[in-house]
């Protein structure tokens, strides 16, 4: 199977690396910046143009920032889709608006190309160690064929419904993660203002009902001042914008999401868009005069 992979950012590079390590060595890659391509070539991939990927690959992956980039590279002038052959499969691992996923799938279906929307959760650490969680939308038979490939990059792959269901699930995931990070930041700020060591509060509560993957991943980063991005503020801001757009379209109430989005917008406006989303803690420390 010849595979193409487009988008070699924080997530894309380690995903390519894991595909190669699993034996999918006939792998073509493309990215806007040459440096990321060179890194993946060092892993064993081959650099290629978008047309070459479309014409030659049985399976094409994308891992891109948002809906406009996916649409441009797949459906735009000289986009990959126009070169793909009937029977090929397209798997979009980007986190985008599910409405856009459905639009792209409809165009591809006219060309005889199948599509899965398969966004991931886990951030850079899980991309590196191959334990991402894939949330997938698309036909059952296509999912069954692609699941072994997905599991070379992830620990789980769950089909959530037809095309668009994967990104709807990812939006739900991003609501929960954002609101949890805000809750952790708020709790640690309360502890500090009340004169209790936040580190001890974290150690005391992590084994109880308040314990969570988010708490264990983000509280130590907050307490040490480590804002090295595993998932950037601007990317989470983008995801929550998609949540709000989708929620408005379907009539779902999301007041907590709207509130967290305002904090992410403040972080972006104050120059912290490239920081890890645990920088929400910075917002609270600013409110109490510690930043």
Indicate which residues carry an active-site annotation.
Answer: 170
CA separation for the pair 97, 166 (Å, rounded): 10
CA distance 252 to 28: 40
Rounded to 5°, the CA angle 72-76-77 comes to: 135
3-state secondary structure 220-240: HHHHHCCCCCCCEHHHHHHHH
Q: What is the DSSP letter of 85?
A: P
User: In which residue are the tokens 């988008």 written?
Assistant: 7
Report how far residue 87's alpha carbon sits from residue 144's, in angstroms, rounded to the nearest whole number: 15
């Amino acid at each position: 199977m010849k595979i193409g992979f487009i988008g070699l950012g924080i997530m894309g590079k380690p995903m390519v690396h894991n595909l190669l390590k699993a034996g999918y060595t006939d792998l073509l890659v493309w990215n806007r910046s040459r440096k990321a391509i060179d890194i993946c070539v060092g892993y064993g991939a081959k650099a290629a143009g978008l047309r070459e990927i479309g014409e030659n690959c049985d399976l094409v992956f994308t891992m891109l920032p948002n809906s406009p980039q996916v649409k441009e590279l797949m459906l735009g002038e000289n986009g990959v889709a126009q070169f793909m052959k009937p029977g090929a499969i397209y798997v979009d691992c980007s986190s985008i608006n599910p409405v856009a996923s459905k639009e792209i799938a409809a165009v591809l279906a006219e060309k005889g190309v199948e599509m899965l929307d398969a966004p991931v959760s886990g951030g850079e650490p899980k991309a590196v160690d191959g334990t991402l969680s894939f949330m997938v939308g698309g036909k059952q038979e296509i999912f069954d064929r692609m699941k072994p490939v997905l599991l070379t990059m992830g620990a789980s792959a769950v089909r959530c419904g037809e095309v668009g269901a994967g990104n709807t699930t990812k939006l739900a995931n991003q609501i929960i993660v954002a609101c949890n990070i805000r809750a952790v930041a708020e709790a640690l700020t309360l502890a500090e203002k009340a004169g209790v060591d936040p580190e001890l509060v974290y150690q005391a509560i992590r084994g109880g009902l308040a314990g969570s993957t988010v708490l264990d991943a983000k509280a130590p980063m907050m307490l040490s001042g480590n804002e090295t991005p595993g998932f950037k503020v601007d990317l989470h801001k983008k995801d929550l914008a998609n949540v709000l757009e989708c929620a408005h379209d379907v009539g779902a109430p999301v007041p907590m999401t709207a509130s967290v989005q305002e904090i992410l917008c403040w972080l972006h406006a104050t120059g912290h868009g490239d920081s890890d989303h645990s920088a929400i803690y910075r917002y609270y420390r600013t409110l109490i005069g510690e930043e």
